[in-house]
Homo-oligomer: A and B are copies of this chain.
Amino acid sequence: MSNLPQSIVYIVDDDVSVREALSDLLESVGIKSVLYTSADDFLSSPRLDCPSCLILDVRMPGQSGLELQNTLNAMKISIPILFITAHGDIPMSVRALKNGAVDFLTKPFSDQVLLDSLHSALEWHKAERERYQERCVLQERYESLNVGEREVFRLVVRGLLNKQIAGLLGVSEITVKVRRGHVMRKMACNSLACLVRAHDYLFA
């Protein structure tokens, strides 16, 4: 059995001295890291299934840090990104942050500033992963509903009575009750309140 680390930080920088300095710093506070020399290097390697953060140099040969950020966003990969740079400018930092980066540090920076930013990023990703997991569970349950059950689901959480739903769907009220029971069981809800929240979370 492979035991996953509690968290991991991916470091992508073409400068070996920067990579190793960062890696040493993180190791000194008990944070595991994996090093990459380029964006493609990172993209072609597997990511571990645990809370993580990406420390990214803005300027690199090949795909730049900002381009990698766009790539990951397009892939809907939610790993938080912390940029570091020696030769950045304001438009770069603005673009990075508007695209969701958690921070944008200029060298030289204080170790503590980096570690603080990193910790909050890892905490965020931990929570984000839990939200994603919960959402996946709900999604699976929803996909187990057939068409009729989904229609009843939609109308029930809009506050309609069984009688009204039956009228709208052109089926008997008994059928609505049966479908409604199936929805409750399949969505693993024991109350209408729970069902409403499940629905709104799925279709937010």
Residues of A participating in the B interface, judged by any CB pair closer than 8 Å? 88-91, 93-94, 97-98, 103-106, 156-160, 190-194, 196-197, 200
Residues of B within 8 A of A103 (CB): 94, 98
Cβ B90 vs Cβ A159 within 8 A: no
The contact of A190 among B159, B190, B197, by CB within 8 Å, is B159
Partner of A89, one of B90, B97, B200: B90
Nearest-Cβ distance from residue A176 to partner chain B, whole angstroms: 15
When all copies of this chain in the complex are counted, the total is 2
5 cross-chain pairs, A with B, having the tightest CB-CB distances, nearest first? A159-B191, A159-B193, A97-B97, A196-B196, A193-B196
Closest residue of chain B to A192 (Cβ to Cβ) is: B192
By a CB distance below 8 angstroms, the chain B residues around A105 are 94
Bound-state Cα–Cα, A190 to B159, Å: 8
- Chain B hits for A193, CB < 8 A: 156-159, 192, 196
| Other-chain residue from B91, B156, B191, B200 in contact with A197 (beta carbon distance below 8 A) | B200
A-B contact pairs, 30 of them (CB 8 A): A88-B90, A89-B90, A90-B90, A90-B93, A90-B104, A90-B106, A91-B106, A93-B93, A93-B94, A93-B97, A94-B97, A94-B103, A94-B104, A94-B105, A97-B98, A157-B193, A158-B191, A159-B190, A159-B191, A159-B192, A159-B193, A159-B194, A160-B191, A192-B192, A192-B196, A193-B196, A196-B196, A196-B197, A197-B200, A200-B200
Least CB distance, A8 to chain B, in whole angstroms: 24
A88-B90, A97-B98, A197-B200 known; 10 new pairs, CB 8 Å cut-off, are A90-B90, A90-B104, A93-B93, A97-B97, A157-B193, A159-B192, A159-B193, A192-B192, A192-B193, A192-B196
Question: Whole-angstrom distance between the alpha carbons of A103 and B97 in the complex?
Answer: 10
Residues of B within 8 A of A91 (CB): 106
